[in-house]
């Protein structure tokens, strides 16, 4: 039996907590035996989830970490609320417990804003990690030694697993189950739960929202959006913004966690995805309109960031990519 601890903190996402329960329960039913033993742990004996739901938990002071710890999102809505939450005594206690668990060889997984708990206690240092796309730059500020990405849905770096938004928690659970139980179990779970793979957050990025943190970046995003079919270079973008290339790179990284050219690519991708989902324009026409070199280049870009081909995104077409392609080797349990 594999012991899995759900470390649940006050205000945690009720949907993520429920997803943890549902995925593990479904896995046990498929296997026909209680292979995965779920336990709730928390700084106290009772935790209040977002929306007022409550759950009973075993106090961390009496809970020795087991094989896997899963931490659902904190429920913080903005950087200010998140900073306040990270400074709270229960989060500090949770961070110390997670550090001990990691030291004992436990696999630690977190989604959405719970990734910040890992960052605050140093578990993300020198590791690739992801959080919800609109807080990527904030995570980079809080955990400056982490290698933050915002394009991927689930990232594994050694024993540390992180996932994007709150609803990416199901992707995190499937990735963990693939690692713990193999591809066949994950395929069956995805089929029974009717889950399509979401391998990237890029389709959900809203550059205009992100760039509002910096007036220069906001202006650049607007300029690129209205000149999608034109070629752009770092030098030309910096000249348009009337700053040096180095200054522009620094400001876009601080505002959106991307380089200037990556921002251009995101804006192009966003518009291409919109056209694919709302029109029947030929792929070549869409590629030209967003400044892609050719249809093949756009096809690769869409596939890399959504996990689906452009044709699967067309109106009336439902992609059938399943969680069997989530990255993570099947492994025997400890």
Q: pLDDT digits over 228-255, tens only?
A: 999 999 999 999 999 999 999 999 888 7
pLDDT of 333: 34
Cα separation, 213 vs 232, whole angstroms: 22
pTM: 0.71
Number of H helices, E strands in the chain: 14, 11
Higher per-residue pLDDT: 210 or 29 = 29
pLDDT of 323: 32
What share of the chain in percent tops pLDDT 90? 58
Cα separation, 22 vs 268, whole angstroms: 37
Structure tokens at 11: 């205000």
pLDDT of 99: 97
Question: Torsion-angle region of residue 102: left (phi > 0), alpha (psi -120 to 50) or beta?
Answer: alpha
Mean pLDDT of 261-268: 91
Q: Compute the mean pLDDT over every residue in the chain, rounded to the nearest whole number.
A: 86
pLDDT surpasses 90 at 164: no
Mean pLDDT of 173-198: 81
pLDDT of 324: 32
Higher per-residue pLDDT: 256 or 52 = 52
Q: How many CB atoms lie within 10 A of CB 57?
A: 21
Q: At what angle do helices 183-193 and 169-181 cross, to 10 degrees?
A: 150
pLDDT digits (tens, 9 = 90+) for 289-308: 999 989 999 999 888 877 78
Cα separation, 254 vs 229, whole angstroms: 26
3-state secondary structure of 39: strand
DSSP string, 98-122: HHHHHHTT-EEEEEGGGHHHHHHTT
3-state secondary structure of 320: coil
DSSP string, 155-188: EEETTEEEESSGGGHHHHHHHHHHHHH-HHHHHH
pLDDT of 204: 67
pLDDT surpasses 90 at 71: yes
What share of the chain in percent tops pLDDT 70? 88
């Amino acid at each position: 039996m594999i012991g899995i601890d759900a470390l649940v903190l006050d205000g945690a996402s009720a949907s993520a907590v429920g997803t943890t329960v549902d995925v593990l329960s479904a896995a046990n039913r498929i296997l026909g035996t209680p292979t995965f033993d779920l336990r709730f742990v928390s700084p106290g004996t009772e935790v209040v989830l977002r929306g007022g739901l409550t759950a009973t938990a075993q106090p961390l002071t009496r809970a020795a970490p087991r094989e896997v710890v899963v931490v659902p999102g904190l429920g913080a809505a903005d950087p200010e609320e998140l900073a306040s939450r990270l400074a709270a005594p229960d989060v500090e206690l949770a961070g110390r417990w997670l550090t001990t668990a990691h030291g004992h060889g436990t696999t630690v997984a977190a989604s959405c804003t719970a990734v910040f708990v890992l960052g605050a206690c140093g578990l993300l240092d020198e590791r690739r990690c992801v959080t919800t796309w609109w807080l990527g730059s904030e995570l980079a500020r809080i955990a400056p030694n982490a290698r933050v990405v915002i394009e991927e849905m689930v990232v594994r770096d050694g024993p540390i697993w992180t996932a994007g938004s709150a609803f990416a928690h199901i992707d995190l659970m499937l990735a963990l189950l693939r690692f713990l139980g193999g591809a066949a179990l994950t395929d069956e779970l995805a089929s029974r739960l009717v889950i399509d793979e979401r391998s990237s957050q890029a389709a959900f990025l809203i550059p205009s929202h992100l760039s509002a943190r910096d007036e220069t970046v906001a202006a650049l995003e607007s300029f690129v959006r209205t000149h999608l079919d034109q070629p752009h270079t770092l030098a030309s973008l910096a000249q348009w913004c009337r700053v040096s290339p180095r200054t522009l790179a620094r400001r876009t990284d601080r505002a959106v966690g991307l380089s200037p050219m990556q921002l251009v690519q995101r804006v192009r991708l966003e518009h291409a995805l919109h056209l694919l989902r709302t029109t029947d324009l030929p792929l070549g026409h869409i590629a030209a309109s967003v400044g892609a070199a050719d249809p093949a280049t756009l096809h690769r870009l869409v596939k890399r960031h959504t996990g689906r081909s452009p044709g699967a995104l067309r109106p009336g077409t439902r992609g059938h990519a399943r969680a069997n392609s989530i990255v993570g080797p099947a492994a025997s349990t400890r």
